[in-house]
């Protein structure tokens, strides 16, 4: 079976800096893939290329059989990719419910239908009772949940979570991990998480891809990746790796 | 509470010209006409400026497009005003869509500057194009009208009931505009416009084509401006460039929107009801007599706007009216 998403030798440069160099990876339907790497490794750049906010200088992106290398974000969303943002991009002056309605309107033009779907998703993401609050007044943890609810409202096949758990308390992080599992199990959505907190990614992911300085240095099951020499070097430095 | 205010407001708007008419005052009916036309423009501007959050300082171009289109249809082809109004709105939407699509690459101040630039280009075109009358403009001759119905159907009122006729014509157009914009606000469009305003990248991420919806928002605004331009042209019985492409056709509605409450359906209405009479009173009191011609009326008018804007930048509608008006009922609990 063809993978749901395949990134083929994607390269993205910003002037002299190569943010992604010849990165290839695939995501199969039904997987939870963790994308990790130190700060500046090019994880968000890769996300931006996959979701159409940037276009690779070389290489090819194929989602669900369609070439999306140069597609705009709104087309990629329509094809079934949704994302959240490292720095939250909730619609601050709209209520939480209205935020999710905007997402649901992607699959229906009837506001009443979108509202019903949005109400379900606020329930699913445990934001019931926050529906009438302006999004700007929510806590960070709730804003991140709201972004997930809004992304889910577009009925994605693939959900890309960009540091959905960073900046949260341990308690909130545990709740977020549970939510990701439920999205995967109950809504049958394929998920790719970017995270630099190893403790979160390892137990959650079926497979982990590691980027360092824009290059993919490892790709495999979490247990194998944590023992990988080059990964340890990237995270802990030369001296630790030698021991 | 909102419902009561709506009924009272509607009654006042309907009854307002009658006592004036009985006493033979036409001036205050014309003030009412200006309030309604500016409220209508403000409600239209709110779509691009308030909901979609794109500062458009050049919608007066479409006021002119509407006025010229209907006047040309009337003068050259004998088409009556209401059909001309539909034609004017349609032409304005097409021109707006074509001009605005490239503009949507620009954001913030740059978008605003580009809209002004288009207006600056429109002025010399209006003044130099012979087909539309050049600097002299076009005159709209009155057709003989027999009775109220004929006048209303032709949007041509004359004699002692002229001011009242145009007041009610403006009221009808204002109500239609308000009702249509209320529908837009509650539809998919209303949600998408506000999503783009709050976060354009976020909106694109959930599948919203930001450029397309900005064009749609501005085209709705353009249609409203064109319709108001047609009404104004038939009231003034003429169309010439300095008059219909005047900057005030955007600044007054925008100020009304900001003072009343930007992004709220009724904001521009409240703003126009407050600002337009003040400006008229200022010019008839301070603008006449020993101080005439020194611009004192405009200075005082400007100061009033500055005070309101500084006191409540989110607009007068954002004040907690509900709490103030309900305090008695809330007290026992």
Question: Residue B239 forms beta bridges with which residues?
Answer: B138
Confidence band of B167 (pLDDT split at 50, 70, 90): very high
CATH entry, A1-80+160-243, from 3.40.50.300, 3.30.750.200, 1.10.3720.10, 3.40.50.2300:
3.40.50.300
Check pLDDT > 80 for residue B290.
no
Is the pLDDT confidence value at B319 over 90?
Answer: no
Shortest distance between the Cα of A141 and any Cα of chain B, in A, equals: 17
Which residues contact residue B120 at a Cβ distance below 8 angstroms, ignoring those fewer than 6 apart?
A: none
Residue B188 lies inside a defined structural domain of this protein: yes
Residue B172 inside a domain? The answer is yes
| pLDDT for B333 | 40
Show me where the domains of chain A are located: 1-80+160-243, 89-155
pLDDT for B23 equals 86
Average of pLDDT values for B222-241?
96
Q: In chain B, what percentage of residues exceed pLDDT 70? A: 95
Here the CATH number for the domain that contains residue B252 is 1.10.3470
pLDDT at site B187: 97
Where in the sequence is the domain holding B286, given as residue range(s)? Answer: 2-326
Confidence of residue B168 (pLDDT cuts 50, 70, 90): very high
Reading the block at residue A75, the tokens are 């087309």
pLDDT tier at B330, thresholds 50, 70, 90: low
Residue from A92, A103, A110, A149 whose CB has the most chain B CBs within 10 Å, to mutate = A103
Beta strands in chain B (DSSP E): 138-139, 238-239
Per-residue confidence band for B322, with pLDDT thresholds at 50, 70 and 90: confident
pLDDT at B291: 66
The nearest alpha carbon in chain B to A99 belongs to: B195
Residue A67 pairs with which residues in a beta bridge?
Answer: A62
Whether B332 maps to a domain, the answer reads no
Does B186 sit within 8 Å of A74, measured CB to CB? no
**Alpha carbon of A23: minimum distance to chain B alpha carbons (Å):** 23
3-class secondary structure, B81: helix
Chosen for mutation from B202, B211, B212 (greatest number of chain A CBs closer than 10 Å) is B202
The full DSSP string for A102-155 is: HHHTTT-S-HHHHHHHHHHHHHHTT-TT-TTSBGGGS-HHHHHHHHHHHHHHT-
Of A63-67, B116-120, B307-311, give the lowest mean pLDDT range.
Answer: B307-311
Q: Nearest by CB to B209, which of A74, A103, A109?
A: A74
Q: What is the pLDDT of residue A61?
A: 97
Q: What is the pLDDT, as a whole number, of residue B213?
A: 97
**Chain B residue nearest residue A104, CA to CA:** B206
Is B219 a residue whose pLDDT tops 70?
A: yes
Sorting pLDDT into bands at 50, 70 and 90, what band is B91?
very high
Counting the structural domains of chain B, the total is 1
B48 in any annotated domain: yes
pLDDT along chain A (243 residues), means of 10: 92 94 96 92 94 96 96 96 95 97 96 97 95 96 96 97 88 93 96 86 92 93 89 74 51
pLDDT at B1: 60
Pairing of strands A190-194, A32-36: parallel
Instruction: Decide if pLDDT at B293 tops 70.
Output: no
**Is the pLDDT at B227 greater than 70, yes or no?**
yes
Is the full-model pTM beyond 0.90?
A: yes
Q: Taking Cα atoms as reference points, which of B50, B64, B17, B11 lies closest to residue B266?
A: B50
Q: Quote the ipTM score.
A: 0.92
Q: How many CB atoms lie within 10 A of CB B277?
A: 15
Q: Which of A63, A73, A94 to mutate to test the interface with B (most CBs of B within 10 A)?
A: A73
| pLDDT more than 90, % of chain B | 66
The pLDDT of residue B205 is 95
> Higher confidence at residue A1 or residue B96?
B96
- For residues B202 and A196, which has the higher predicted lDDT (pLDDT)? B202
Q: How distant, in Å, are the alpha carbons of A60, A62, A188, B50, B59 from that of A70?
A: 9, 10, 27, 32, 34
Q: Is residue B285 pLDDT above 50, yes or no?
A: yes
Q: A90 or B287: whose pLDDT is higher?
A: A90
Q: Over the stretch B50-59, which tens digit does the pLDDT of each residue have?
A: 999 999 999 9
């Amino acid at each position: 079976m063809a993978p749901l998403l395949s990134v083929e030798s994607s390269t993205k440069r910003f002037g002299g800096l190569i943010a992604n160099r010849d990165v290839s990876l695939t995501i199969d339907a039904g997987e939870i893939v963790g994308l990790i790497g130190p700060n500046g490794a090019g994880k968000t750049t890769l996300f931006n290329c996959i979701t159409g906010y940037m276009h690779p200088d070389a290489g090819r992106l194929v989602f669900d059989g369609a070439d999306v290398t140069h597609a705009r974000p709104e087309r990629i969303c329509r094809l079934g990719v949704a994302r959240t943002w490292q720095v939250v991009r909730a619609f601050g002056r709209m209520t939480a419910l209205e935020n999710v309605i905007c997402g649901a309107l992607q699959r229906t033009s009837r506001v009443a239908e979108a509202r019903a779907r949005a109400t379900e998703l606020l329930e699913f993401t445990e934001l019931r009772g926050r529906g009438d609050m302006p999004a700007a007044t929510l806590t960070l943890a709730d804003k991140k949940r709201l972004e997930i609810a809004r992304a889910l409202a577009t009925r994605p096949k693939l959900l890309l979570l960009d540091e959905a758990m960073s900046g949260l308390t341990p308690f909130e992080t545990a709740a977020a991990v549970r939510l990701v599992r439920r999205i995967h199990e109950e809504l049958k959505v394929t998920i790719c998480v970017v995270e630099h907190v190893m403790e979160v990614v390892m137990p959650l992911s079926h497979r982990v891809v590691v980027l360092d300085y824009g290059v993919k240095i490892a790709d495999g099951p979490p247990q194998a990746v944590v023992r990988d020499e080059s990964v340890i070097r990237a995270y802990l430095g030369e001296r630790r790796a030698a021991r | 509470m909102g419902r009561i205010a709506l009924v009272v407001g509607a009654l006042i708007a309907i009854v307002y010209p009658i006592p004036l008419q009985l006493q033979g005052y036409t001036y205050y009916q014309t003030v009412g006409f200006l309030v309604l036309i500016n409220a209508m423009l403000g409600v239209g501007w709110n779509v691009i400026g308030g909901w979609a959050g794109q500062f458009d300082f050049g919608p007066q171009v479409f006021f002119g497009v509407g006025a010229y289109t209907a006047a040309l249809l009337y003068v050259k082809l004998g088409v009556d005003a209401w059909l001309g109004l539909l034609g004017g709105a349609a032409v304005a939407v097409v021109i707006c869509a074509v001009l605005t699509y490239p503009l949507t690459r620009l954001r913030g101040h740059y978008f605003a500057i580009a809209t002004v630039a288009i207006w600056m280009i429109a002025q010399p075109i209006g003044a130099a194009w012979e087909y539309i009358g050049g600097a002299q403009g076009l005159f709209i001759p009155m057709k003989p009208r027999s009775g109220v119905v004929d006048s209303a159907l032709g949007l041509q009122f004359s004699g002692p009931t002229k001011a009242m006729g145009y007041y009610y014509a403006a009221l009808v157009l204002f109500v239609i505009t308000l009702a249509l914009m209320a529908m837009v606000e509650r539809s998919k469009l209303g949600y998408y416009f506000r999503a783009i305003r709050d976060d354009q990248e976020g909106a694109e991420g959930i599948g919203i084509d930001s450029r397309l919806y900005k064009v749609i928002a501005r085209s709705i605004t353009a249609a409203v401006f064109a319709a108001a331009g047609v009404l104004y042209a038939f009231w003034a019985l003429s169309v010439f460039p300095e008059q219909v492409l005047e900057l005030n056709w955007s600044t007054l509605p925008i100020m009304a929107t900001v003072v009343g409450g930007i992004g709220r359906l009724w904001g521009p209405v409240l703003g126009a009801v407050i600002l337009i009479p003040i400006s008229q009173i200022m010019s008839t009191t301070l603008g006449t007599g020993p101080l005439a011609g020194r611009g004192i009326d405009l200075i005082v008018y400007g100061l009033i706007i500055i005070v309101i804007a500084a006191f409540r930048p989110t607009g007068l509608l954002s004040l907690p009216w509900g709490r103030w008006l309900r305090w008695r009922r809330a007290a026992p609990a």
